[in-house]
Structure 1
């Protein structure tokens, strides 16, 4: 008898950088849980269908990097100059909201920092490279999940909501510049509207955006128009916006399914980037996510809807971890990965 045919699952479907400095190293106290990825890997290693293949599916190496040119495809020249040259620390303070309205430190204590704040920018470039690497892998394998990324609140000329640069758009525009893709869908299921992505992709038919999010609350908690009639950039619409208000959680997945059908009316893309935040989960601890409270079962249905929608249309899917602020949030990602990897390994 001949030798057994080796498993063909050598293409990485999980991007897991274990050497990224946590925000606490910079004195930042945003409640991001560091156990999410390890707990997911531990859970997956306990599944007999996945365990034999898990090591081959994980990429832990930094195979890509992000240049100033990559960032400049998305952000304005003045903003790029600020973050690369002149005002790196101040832009980080603004984007991560480390000062309150009175100028006092907010979730930030420089005395507890192990690294200078300005070095966080280099970490964000590495994280953005992970998003690009995930998208590139998805084009090869059909599916890839990155334990990181999803900086959807970064606008062309400013950052907020813990997002300095928009890794989603940087990855999409680089793939286009390299002629790997011509069109991309961004499906954003984070609790907060993907306002930066919507602003960047506005009037760009090569990138279509869908965002299902809290109908009230940050970043839509201010005035839409200023005294001079200028619209606040956070209110620039996505191609498809699906606001869900408090008490409407039972309608969430129905609304998402209807939104996906509307998205399907656009030309089929070469890639979908899914901003797969777990912060709509009822056990999330970030105060600004509190207006959306989905059960674990509803979260699983959400992720199955998106996964099946893309699979049925044979659209490669790059998933980003995005917003998650609870020690329990790993369960959301573990359920998604169990679904996706079991499906991919049997096909």
Structure 2
């Protein structure tokens, strides 16, 4: 069965001016339930991730600042959110969702988090609407508990997974692959194990050809026994922040390429949602819903 992390807290602790892109956290499960892609039994409810798991990945001093709400004004502005206890709690729940989803993926082949993909969080700081890095925390959990020995991060959000790249820059058991807008945020890119920078306006054919060739090569050379998939839908041409030229069908085919590659090679995969900022929230929800539809089609 496809297991999906979701909790109402994902959407309801953010300030009003951040609500628009966050609507998807309620609309997406509603859509998937309505159309019958999933049922309530697919959901599991994450709780607060332990502090020990957080400081396995993040600097203890940084975690203390978050916990005590003592970030400087500059540090807070970099995150994009006004810091609050409720926001930190939300982050801890999202982190636990990805840790548990990764464990479910080991059992079932695939699992998903309705949130997550917080790839702009570094060891010692948050950026770009990310306070803690769920991909890194979940990867450490698998490696530390012998549930994986070689992890591949496939980050296809339109923005480079800079925090994830920094966290794993000296970790040979985690290979970071980021395919993103070359001229997009962040201005300063970190060095992933493989970075593919895309020109503004990159279309479906160009994008999908690059992805297919590189993903096949990485599976052959890295030989991962677990994949984390950051499947942000800000690659759409309709996205306000994306600047690429992809269609909904192209985005769906992107996800098919990744999911089918993992299924065919018997590699467990955990997918987390990442960004999406199209003017019409229906575009965001439809693009994300395609990932869940494909998961059911390909794995179950």
Rate the CA distance shift 1:254–1:332 in 2: closer, same or farther, 3 A: same
Superimposed CA distance per residue, residues 85-112 of structure 1 (whole angstroms, 9 cap, x where no aligned partner): 46247577234335xxxxxxxxx7xxxx
Asked if 2 retains the 8 angstrom alpha-carbon contact of 1:88 and 1:121, the reply is no
**Distance in 2 (alpha carbons) for counterparts of 1:157 and 1:171:** 17
Q: Taking structure 1 as reference, are residues 120 and 28 closer, same or farther at Cα in structure 2, changes over 3 Å only?
A: farther
Question: What does 1:227-238 correspond to in 2, within 5 Å?
Answer: 234-238=188-192
Query: More deviation in 294-303 or 89-98?
Result: 89-98
- Please state which structure has a larger fraction of its residues in helix: 2
Aligned equivalents of 1:296, 1:274: Cα separation in 2: 18
The structural deviation recorded for 1:184 is 1.4
2:24–2:284: 8 Å Cα contact kept in structure 1?
no
Map 1:54-133 → 2, pairs under 5 A: 54-59=39-44, 61-62=45-46, 64-85=47-68, 87-88=70-71, 90=73, 93-97=76-80, 117-133=84-100
- From 287, 297, 306, give the equivalent of 2:258: 306
Rounded to whole Å, the distance in 2 between the matches of 1:31 and 1:118 is 21
Q: How far 1:74 moved relative to its partner?
A: 1.5
Partner of 1:15: 5
Distance, in Å, in 2 between the alignment partners of 1:195 and 1:30 is 25
Q: Measure, in 2, the Cα distance between the counterparts of 1:246 and 1:278.
A: 15
Q: Number of paired residues?
A: 296
Note the residue ranges of structure 1 that are not aligned, 5 or more in a row: 1-8, 99-107, 109-115, 221-233
1:134 equivalent to 2:82? Answer no
Q: 2-side partners of 1:247 and 1:94: how far apart?
A: 29
TM-score by length of 2: 0.89
**Over aligned residues, Cα RMSD in angstroms?**
2.3
Q: CA deviation at 1:237?
A: 1.3
Q: In the superposition, relative to structure 1, how do residues 21 and 329 fare at CA in structure 2: closer, same or farther (>3 Å)? A: closer
Question: CA separation in 2, counterparts of 1:35 and 1:322?
Answer: 11
1:240 aligns with 2:194: yes
Tell me if structure 1 keeps the 8 A contact 2:123–2:163: yes
Answer yes or no: is the 8 Å Cα contact 1:92–1:164 preserved in 2. Answer: no
> Rg: which structure is higher?
1
**Is structure 2 residue 239 aligned with structure 1 residue 284?**
yes
Deviations 1:262-320 (A, max 9, x none): 312434223211001011112223xx32x213111110111111111111111001000
Shift of residue 175 of structure 1?
2.2
**Range moving further from structure 2, 147-156 or 245-254:** 245-254
Aligned to 2:275: 323
Which position in structure 2 is the counterpart of 1:223? none
Specify the SS of the correspondent of 2:99. helix
In structure 2, which of residues 154, 159, 173 is the aligned counterpart of residue 206 of structure 1? 173
Q: TM-score, normalised by structure 1?
A: 0.78
Deviation at 1:32, TM superposition (A): 1.3
Distance 1:165 1:43, change over 3 A: closer
- C-alpha deviation, 1:143, in angstroms: 0.8
Higher mean C-alpha deviation, range 83-92 or range 64-73: 83-92
